[in-house]
Structure 1
Amino acid sequence: MIGRAPFWTTALVGIVALIWIVPILGIVVTSIRPPSEVTLGWWRLDQVSFTLSAWQRVWEAYPLANAFWVTAQLAGMATIATMLLTPAAAYAFHFLKFPFRRLLLIIIINAFVLPQQVVIIPLFQLWRELGLIDNFLSVLIPYVGMSFAWSIFLVKNFLEDFPRELIEAAKIDGCGALSTFRHVVLPNTLSPVFAVGILQFLWTWNALLLPMLYLRSNVPLPVLLTRVSGTYDVNWDLRSVAAIVTTIVPLVIFLVFQRQFASGSQTRTGAKE
């Protein structure tokens, strides 16, 4: 029987939750109250009224729907590509033998400590020469390539405890490397692959630096969020609306798939669930 958690643990979790919820509540309230009422603080109750004018102004003045669609495309394609390529790469590095395998793995994983700012100028020069500026590929390629540093390490760490007897049995049955990966390894690595997919989706959805530099005509929500501001007025109500639209999808994705995320981050066995 699981014992009851001590009071201090519950209190501590409640305080942390409150710290996280208060800013979210402030953004929501700011988006539905007139600017004159929230100038001195959204928490003031001297005069309370609600309006959806900020929502209407944002949708009319900024291409919010197009930015939402662009963000969904970029995050979706980058996530699918990462979920397809990562388990294959982790399987190759862990079970297959080829020249410079260890050196290549060290180079890929060490890229995890490489800041994005280091590759901005070389990538910009390369994309300009290839004519990829203002092309989705200019951000999709770095999205997927830079994710290999942590995603391959995550899945390979899961494969450390994968039963090698299953691999040997597949070889005895006549399976090659691809067949073994497809029928034996991949079905048993869905938990870490889902965890990789969730992390990649959250990262690419909220990415700002690369799209801001390489995209011009079609920009994602984080870039549009930086443009929702006035010259002499900070437009907190409009920014709040754009922030809600930007964060609602990652929040829903995490809430829906949190079970798969927790399973992928904690499972250390090769047994199929």
Structure 2
Amino acid sequence: MIGRAPGWIVPLVGAFALIWIVPIVGLVVTSLRPISEIILGWWSLQEFTLTLDAWIVVWDKYPLAYAFWISTKIAVISTIIPMLLAPAAAYAFHFLKFRFRRLLLILIINAFVLPNQVVIIPLFRLWRELGLIDNIWSVIIPFAGLSFAWAVFLVKNYLEDFPNELIEAAQVDGCGPLARFFYIVLPNALTPIAAVGILQFMWTWNGLLLPVVFLRDELPLTALLARIQGVYDRNWDQVAVAAIITTIVPLMIFIVFQRYFTAGAQTKSGSKE
């Protein structure tokens, strides 16, 4: 029987929700007010004028549609690669026995703490020699590679609670390693795979460092946002418009698929009571 939640839970959660919502409200209001009023503070009510001028200027002046398409390509491809490879690697490290398995796992996990800044200069030299500067693959490859370690770690942790009885039963029935992976493990590991996809998509969609360094013309939304911000001009209204367009996709994805973050460690055919 589920007990009743303490009375202080609702006010506490409401306070955190308010703290989270206020910046979003400020961003929307900033995009709809003229710069002369924004300087006084977006919350100021001395003068309150609503206008779509900033939205029109940003849409006419900057290639938002093209940047949105570039962001989508980079995020989708960079997400699909670890979603396909990480479950296979996690399955191999957890269920299969092979030489240097533990050493390879340690090396992969150590790559988890490798900061992006460390690989920028070597990658820039490599991409320049290969002619990949201003090519979206110069961003997709490091995005997928740098996320592989934590994706394997996440899926492998999920497999720690996977029922070994299913694997043993499949072995008795004559299933080989590949058959056990595709027919037993993979269908029952959709929760961590979906979590990997959500986290990876949000990271690559919001990534700024790699696109700014490696891309020139094919800019995603985050890199275009940095250009809109400028250096000397007070174009906060235009920056707010670009920020809203940039953040709306990962926000919607998180809202729709947030259940995968709280899903229990259960499998379709071997759930634990």
TM bucket (normalised to shorter chain) is: over 0.9
Instruction: Tell me the amino acid that sits aligned with residue 7 of structure 1.
Output: G
Change (3 A) 1:147 1:231: closer
Q: Secondary structure at the match of 1:228?
A: helix
Counterpart for residue 13 of structure 1: 13
Structure 2 gaps, min length 5: none
Contact 1:159 1:270 in 2 (8 A): no
Counterpart for residue 79 of structure 2: 79
Please state how far the C-alpha of 1:7 moved relative to its aligned partner.
3.2
Post-superposition CA distance 1:101-156 (Å, at most 9, x none): 11111111111111111111111111112221111221111111111121111110
Counterpart for residue 52 of structure 1: 52
Change (3 A) 1:154 1:271: farther
Q: Secondary structure at the match of 2:258?
A: helix
Instruction: Tell me the amino acid that sits aligned with residue 119 of structure 1.
Output: V
Counterpart for residue 132 of structure 1: 132
For 2:31 and 2:92, locate their aligned partners in 1 and report how far apart those are by CA, in whole Å: 50
Please state how far the C-alpha of 1:169 moved relative to its aligned partner.
2.0
For 1:192 and 1:97, locate their aligned partners in 2 and report how far apart those are by CA, in whole Å: 23
Post-superposition CA distance 1:63-107 (Å, at most 9, x none): 111111100111111111111111011001111122211111111
Counterpart for residue 145 of structure 1: 145
Counterpart for residue 40 of structure 2: 40
Contact 2:133 2:214 in 1 (8 A): yes
Q: Secondary structure at the match of 1:33?
A: coil
For 1:33 and 1:272, locate their aligned partners in 2 and report how far apart those are by CA, in whole Å: 55
For 2:201 and 2:222, locate their aligned partners in 1 and report how far apart those are by CA, in whole Å: 14
Counterpart for residue 209 of structure 1: 209
For 2:232 and 2:251, locate their aligned partners in 1 and report how far apart those are by CA, in whole Å: 32
The runs of at least 4 consecutive aligned structure 1 residues that moved more than 6 Å come to none
Counterpart for residue 248 of structure 2: 248
Counterpart for residue 194 of structure 1: 194
For 1:197 and 1:259, locate their aligned partners in 2 and report how far apart those are by CA, in whole Å: 13
Aligned pairs (5 A) from 1:77-116:
77-116=77-116
Q: Secondary structure at the match of 2:229?
A: coil
Counterpart for residue 25 of structure 1: 25
Please state how far the C-alpha of 1:271 moved relative to its aligned partner.
4.7
Deviates more, 1:4-13 or 1:185-194: 4-13
For 1:155 and 1:192, locate their aligned partners in 2 and report how far apart those are by CA, in whole Å: 6
Change (3 A) 1:74 1:5: same
Instruction: Tell me the amino acid that sits aligned with residue 186 of structure 1.
Output: L
Instruction: Tell me the amino acid that sits aligned with residue 16 of structure 1.
Output: F
TM-score for both structures, normalised by structure 2: 0.94
Please state how far the C-alpha of 1:272 moved relative to its aligned partner.
5.2
1:234 aligns with 2:257: no
1:118 aligns with 2:118: yes
Instruction: Tell me the amino acid that sits aligned with residue 253 of structure 2.
Output: I
Please state how far the C-alpha of 1:186 moved relative to its aligned partner.
0.2
Counterpart for residue 173 of structure 2: 173
For 2:47 and 2:27, locate their aligned partners in 1 and report how far apart those are by CA, in whole Å: 18
Aligned pair count? 271
For 1:166 and 1:12, locate their aligned partners in 2 and report how far apart those are by CA, in whole Å: 43
Please state how far the C-alpha of 1:9 moved relative to its aligned partner.
2.3
Please state how far the C-alpha of 1:234 moved relative to its aligned partner.
2.3
Change (3 A) 1:187 1:77: same
Identity of aligned residues (%): 66
Change (3 A) 1:152 1:230: closer
Please state how far the C-alpha of 1:268 moved relative to its aligned partner.
5.9
CA RMSD of aligned residues (A): 1.6
Structure 1 gaps, min length 5: none
For 1:101 and 1:189, locate their aligned partners in 2 and report how far apart those are by CA, in whole Å: 21
Contact 2:161 2:265 in 1 (8 A): no
For 1:200 and 1:189, locate their aligned partners in 2 and report how far apart those are by CA, in whole Å: 17
For 2:56 and 2:18, locate their aligned partners in 1 and report how far apart those are by CA, in whole Å: 30
Instruction: Tell me the amino acid that sits aligned with residue 172 of structure 1.
Output: V
Post-superposition CA distance 1:144-199 (Å, at most 9, x none): 11111211111101111212222222222222211111001100100111111110
For 1:262 and 1:77, locate their aligned partners in 2 and report how far apart those are by CA, in whole Å: 25
